[in-house]
Structure formats: C-alpha cells, structure tokens
Amino acid sequence: MTDLEAVKEGTRGMWSRGDYGRLAARIESAAREVVDGCAISAGQVVLDVAAGNGNAAVLAAREGAAVTASDLTPAMVELGRARTEGEGLDVEWTVADAEELPFEDERFDCATSVFGAMFAPRPDVVARELFRVVRPGNTVGMANWTPEGFNGRFFALGNRYAPPPPEDVPRPTDWGCEEIVRERFADLAGSILVEPRFVRWSFADAGEASRFFEETAGPSATLAEMLDDESRGRLREEFAELVDQFNSATDGSVEVDAEYLLVVARRRG
C-alpha cells in the first residue's frame, strides 16, 4: 500500500519550487474555458480546487462570483492570496487536499479544477469530493492534460528520469481520457460534456522552452535539481525531440498546441 501522506508531502515539496506565476500566465486560457464552460456568473458561490495561484479563482471573482480557492501546497496558497489581494479581489484562500475538502455538503454552485485535482492520487475520492460540495443540478468543471498530448508526453518523459511513481496510483493523465472521466463520474453526474482543447506554448526555441519549464514548473525544477549533469543533458535532448514532434513552427521557433480535456459535468438532481 502506498503511503499517501508521503506522496502528498512530495507534491507539496515539488509545487513549492519554481516561479509558478510565470507558468500560470501561460495556461490562463484553460481557466477561461472552464469558467465559461461552467457559466460562472455574478452571485454564484464558487470553489477552485488545487487552485495554484488562482487562475480560475481570479476569473470567477472578476465575474462577480463569491470565490473560495484551495490548494494542498501552502506556498501556492500564499502566492494566490498575494495575487488576489494585489488585484483587490475578495477570494477566500484555504490550504486543503482535494481528497478531503473542508467544506460542508452542497455549499457551492460550482467547483472547478484546472490541471489540479488530476494530480491527487485517488481519483475516485477526488470525484466524490468535487460533487459532494456542489448542489444537485450544479456544475463541476475540470481541465485535464491528455496522455497523448504534448504535456502528457512531457510528463511520461519526466517519469522515465524520476523515481518510479507508486504502482497503485493511476497516472494523472487518465483524467484526460474521456471514457475514464465518464466512468469516474458515472454515479455522480447527470450530464457530462467532454471536449478536447489546446494550450499554445510559444518559445524562441526548444532551449528556451526547456529552461522555462525548469524555472517555473515545480516538478520540472525538482527533477532538474535531482539529476546529475549527464542525465539532465539527456533529458533536455529528449525534451527537444518531443518538442520537434509537436512543433508547427518552421523557422526554428516553437509553437506547440498541447491538448487537454475540458470537462463540464452537472451533479445529479
């Protein structure tokens, strides 16, 4: 049996590294899709789960929703709180595990999670929690990287250089597979809309892309620090090959469309 507390301690450690705000700025379009897909509007009571520094929380608050944002990593919550205070937005921040949300049943009109809850180790527990806290008939919205898309392949590449993940923990990108999402939500949702979407990564070249992720994404920063020079060099080469496979630019720059699944589900009435 996997020590889940150790897994989560590792998650907190990883996501405490890296200049996350720069990464968040580049994936904000996915938060926009989730907020629009869930039709978040003024007066609604909204929870953003695994909120990071609050991309979806900020957009929901700008719509006039009453927003609570939660994340497992205290450093992320601090970052998010500073961001929303800086923008003069009234968002309530809480450190919380997506598998154990500290909120009463049916408190929210909508729960969102953008590239967040997908990283919790027990997907069925997460699914139950997301639906428990929204009212019947109301929405759960997610954005999840697909396994075959650029980011899914990037994670799989990193996993070949990192210590092997626990065998009994499903890969996060299973949340990017339509059939699996439908299965996980089958007893919880009355309706489920699932659509592919893309985040575009634009960089001057593959080297800049590699440096960007190592500087901003906690898990990439952690892995780069952990590896010796030779392994780090090989990982960077393999990353450049992966970029090549997805790159639509022909002038040496990088234009990669990274696929994710937009999920909007309505809780059974």
Ligand X SMILES: C[S@@+](CC[C@H](N)C(=O)[O-])C[C@H]1O[C@@H](n2cnc3c(N)ncnc32)[C@H](O)[C@@H]1O
Contact residues toward ligand X (CB under 6 A) are 8, 11, 15, 24, 27, 31, 50-52, 55, 71-73, 76, 97-99, 114-116, 119-120
Let me know: does 52 contact 71? Beta carbons within 8 Å: yes
Query: Any idea which residue has 């923990």 for tokens?
Result: 169
Q: Which is nearer to ligand X, 8 or 253 (CB)?
A: 8
CA dist 220 and 197 (Å) reads: 23
Per DSSP, the three-state class of 93 is strand
Least separation in angstroms between residue 43's CB and ligand X is 23
- Calculate ∠ Cα 170-176-181, nearest 5°: 80
Least separation in angstroms between residue 237's CB and ligand X is 25
CA dist 33 and 142 (Å) reads: 9
Q: Which is nearer to ligand X, 142 or 206 (CB)?
A: 142
Least separation in angstroms between residue 238's CB and ligand X is 21
Cβ-proximal residue to ligand X, closest one: 52
Least separation in angstroms between residue 119's CB and ligand X is 4
Q: Which is nearer to ligand X, 72 or 209 (CB)?
A: 72
Q: Which is nearer to ligand X, 196 or 233 (CB)?
A: 196
CA dist 213 and 190 (Å) reads: 38
